[in-house]
């Protein structure tokens, strides 16, 4: 754990403890299982570049990964020719 303390932080950053100003950084030793978007798409039989939505929001960066343990539900939304031109995945997180 690292603690950076500077007097200027308390007057410039919101939500800082006025008595103990500082920034704390933590490094977590536990390795979390992740899945790439292409792995998730492949598992559901979709093209690697299929769009993925998380809680209804499009994930634009295809390189982002999801923590496996945070995935609560996955829905394959089929194309409807009105809103969706292709099938997409909507992932609900815990």
| pLDDT tens track, the chain, 94 positions | 566 665 555 555 555 555 666 677 778 888 889 999 999 999 999 999 999 999 999 999 999 999 999 999 999 999 887 888 889 999 999 8
pLDDT value at position 16? 52
| CB-CB contact of 74 with 39 (8 Å) | no
| CB-CB contact of 38 with 15 (8 Å) | no
Beta bridge mates, 40? none
* Same domain, yes or no: 46 and 13: no
- Domain range enclosing 53: 34-93
* Same domain, yes or no: 56 and 69: yes
Neighbours of 40 (CB within 10 A): 20
| CB-CB contact of 50 with 41 (8 Å) | yes
* Same domain, yes or no: 89 and 61: yes
- What's the structural domain count of the chain? 2
Phi, psi of 39 (to 5 degrees): -65, -45
* Same domain, yes or no: 6 and 23: yes
């Amino acid at each position: 754990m690292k603690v950076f303390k500077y007097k200027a932080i308390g007057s410039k950053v919101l939500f800082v403890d006025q008595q103990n100003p500082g920034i704390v950084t933590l490094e977590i030793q536990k390795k979390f299982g992740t899945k790439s978007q292409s792995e998730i798409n492949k598992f559901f039989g979709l093209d690697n570049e299929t769009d993925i939505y998380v809680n209804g929001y499009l994930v634009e960066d295809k390189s982002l990964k999801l923590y496996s343990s945070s995935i609560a539900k996955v829905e394959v939304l089929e194309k409807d020719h009105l809103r969706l031109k292709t099938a997409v995945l909507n992932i609900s997180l815990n």
